[in-house]
Structure 1
C-alpha cells in the first residue's frame, strides 16, 4: 500500500474514507459547495444567481456569443443556458439579436443597463476570491490552480470515455 494511503479494510469493515481524512474528492466537493453558497448569498442583493452571473461574466469578455457558444464556454447544456438567458433577458441585462447572415440564429448581447452591475458584481466576486485564497502564497495558488486543471482534464476524459462505452447490463434481481 502506498505511504499515507488509507487501508481499504479495517477489521471486517470496508474503509471508504479514513476517520480523520475525508479525502481529496470530499474536500473538493465541500469547498465547491461552500463557494457556490457564499457567492449565491452575495449575489442576492443584485437579483442574480451564480449561474446568471456566469452568463453575464462570459458576455462581458465576449459579447455577442450565440446560445450554443455560451453553452460550450460555460460547459452546460444548451437548454439550461437557454433558461438562464430567458431570466437574465427578462431583467433587462441582455438582449438577443438576430445574426446578420442567418436570421434563424441569435447572438446574445449585454445591454447598457448591465454594464454598471457587472462592475459592482465583479468587485464582489474578486473580494470573495481573495477571501477564499487567504493564507495561500502566490506559488501555492498557482500550484493549486495547475493541479485542479489536471484533475478537471482527467475527469473530463473519464466522462468522454464512459460516454463511448455501451451501458452495463442490469443485474438480475435477487
Structure 2
C-alpha cells in the first residue's frame, strides 16, 4: 500500500503547478488587461528547498517551494496526526529599479495565480484535510554580498490522521 507522505505532497504540488500555473498567469493578465503583465514560469525555473549559485543564471521570476516547520498540533490518544506545511513562492532578484513598486505589484499577481491553482485543484492533497492557506507578505532577503531576493507566496498546511 502506497503511503501518501510529505515527499508525495511535494511531488504532486510541483507537477500540479507546472501543469496549471501558467494558465492562471494568463488568466490574471487577461483580467487585469494592463501593461503590468506577468510572464510564464518555465519548468526549469522550479527550485526545491535550495537557493544556490545556479540562481545567479536566472533572469526574471522563478518558483520556489519546500517544507516548512509545522507547529505542533494537539495530541490525541486515539489518533496519529501529522501536519505538513509547504511554502510556495514566486521570487526574483531585486534589480534596484526606480519603480520597485511595479515588481511588488507583479509579485502580488503571481501570488493570486498561486492561490487560483490551489482553489481549482481541491483534490490535490490526497487523504489530507482541506488545505489551510496563509498568504505571505512580500519579503526581501540577501542572497549573497550584492544581491537581494524579493518573494511572495503562500504557506499551505494540511493534516492527516490515522488510527
Q: Please state which band the TM-score falls in when normalised by the shorter chain.
A: 0.3 to 0.5
State which structure, 1 or 2, has the greater radius of gyration over its C-alpha atoms.
1
The TM-score normalised by the length of structure 1 is 0.33
Which one has the bigger strand percentage?
Answer: 2
What TM-score, normalized to structure 2? 0.35
